[in-house]
Amino acid sequence: MKVKKEMKTLVSNTVMLYIMQVSGYIFPLLTFPYLTRVLGPEYFGVTTFVSATITYFQLVVDFGFLLSATRDCSLHRDNKQKLQEILSSVVKAKTFIATIAFAGIFILIIFVPQYQEHGLYLALSYLAVFASAFIPDYMFRGIERMSVITYRSVASKALYTVLIFIFVRQDTDYVLIPIFMFAANVFVVIWSFIYLYKKLDIRWIKTPVSSVVAAIKDSAVFFVSRIATTIYNATNVVALGFFFPSAALASFTSANDLITKGRGMFSPIADSIYPYMVKQKNFKLIKKVLIFSFPIILAGTVFLYIFTPEAIRIVCGEGYEGAIPIFRILLFMVPITLPIYLLGFPTLGALNMMKEANLTIVYAAVYHVIGLLILFAVGKFEFIPVAILTVTSEFVVLISRAIYSYLGFKRLERERKYEQIHSQIQNK
């Protein structure tokens, strides 16, 4: 009975995460073609260049707490006092990190020419990041209350989308975009804490500095993984933005954004399974999910590859024809995305191989950075070679995680055999 209840909760959480993820896809899909047309390649390229830069700051502020704090909340879900300590410590830690990171924004605006012209846009974009430091998603994920995140997320995205359509009417209105993102995040923060206080009776409490430091140290290993992932995502856009004009960069970023949004559709599966796997270690579930989903994903990928020109034309409009070959290359990442996600923290985390899960990202990041340097050295630092390098970097993650998972299962099998033999000896 308990197992059925847990599976029901898992399915419910997965559905809720999917609704949230789909909303995160549908709303941007509504604004994406609108912004590509209203802003044009020039200003759209600026927004994506700054957005890629802000990704670094977002990762610094998040600092891996979405994984470490989710795990802690999951383990202590029945201890309200402990949950309050986690909430208070993590918010303090993220606020401290966000405040320090603000200095980085001003350094870029003052000393880097590529950011000086659009310094206001960069600074406003960071306000949304700062507000996100107070969003306690880790709490709701850990105690498996995904419906809260879902309803709140859909409402905030709807708010942001409506504001875009009403107020962004010409290319110079692009500065309003980060303001609306900030407003949406503030909305999320208010909603989240009202729910925590009124529905769960989880409140802000005083915590010592030592607990804040401990939270940062505990999250550091996850931060390494998440920042390494950015090496072959945001870094591509930022690096290319230093060598290509905004209008040309828009071809790469539009293709990259569409693929990123598509791959994001798979993350709810891994996100919802992660707390469950930490507790139950039901590895057969991972296998079933992969067997069921892979043929569907592969068929969808082939379909998109065939009709890429039509898709780019419909979604992006005129002036983005350069995105077609880039999109087709990046499509090769789509079929391997779910295996990468599931073999990560849901599998390796449940095998007590968090370090190895993080290392796989580090391996790929090192490989990618070396690849970028080689492309630059041989004069091939262009959109197509960078796209190919990005795909191969993802394969590095997949292969290394598959190897570690295999070794982890072999170790687990040996431990179980040892326990059986030991139990038989004791019984005799």
Q: pLDDT 10s per residue in the chain (428 long)? A: 555 666 666 666 667 766 776 777 778 878 988 999 999 988 999 999 999 899 889 988 988 888 889 889 988 888 999 999 999 999 999 999 999 999 999 999 999 988 988 899 999 999 999 999 999 989 988 887 877 878 888 899 999 999 999 999 999 999 999 999 999 999 999 999 999 999 999 998 888 999 889 988 888 877 766 666 666 667 888 899 988 988 899 999 999 988 988 887 787 777 777 767 766 777 888 888 889 989 999 999 999 999 999 999 988 888 889 999 999 999 999 999 999 999 988 888 888 888 888 889 889 989 999 999 999 999 999 999 999 999 999 999 999 999 999 999 898 888 778 777 766 666 65
Classify each residue of 364-377 as buried b or exposed e, where b means 16 or more C-beta atoms within 10 Å of its C-beta: bbebbbebbeebee
Strands, E assignment, 157-238 = none
Q: Which amino acid does the sequence have at 387?
A: A
Residue 366 DSSP code = H
d(CA 119, CA 67): 32
Whether the Cβ atoms of residue 154 and residue 207 lie closer than 8 Å to each other: no
Token digits of residue 299: 């068929």
> What is residue 229's three-state secondary structure?
helix
Classify each residue of 125-136 as buried b or exposed e, where b means 16 or more C-beta atoms within 10 Å of its C-beta: bbbbbbbbbbbb
Token digits of residue 157: 């995205």
Q: Which amino acid does the sequence have at 379?
A: G
Token digits of residue 98: 């966000």
CA terminus-to-terminus distance, the chain: 34
DSSP string, 118-166: THHHHHHHHHHHHHHTT--HHHHHHTT-HHHHHHHHHHHHHHHHHHHHH
Record the pTM: 0.75
Give the count of domains, the chain.
Answer: 1
DSSP string, 273-332: HHHHHHHH--HHHHHHHHHHHHHHHHHHHHHHHHTHHHHHHHHH-TT-TTHHHHHHHHGG
Distances (CA, A) of 290 to 22, 176, 261, 374: 20, 42, 20, 35
Among residues 249, 311, 210, 229, the alpha carbon closest in space to that of 47 is found at 249
Whether the Cβ atoms of residue 426 and residue 418 lie closer than 8 Å to each other: no
Question: What is the span of the domain harbouring residue 89?
Answer: 2-427
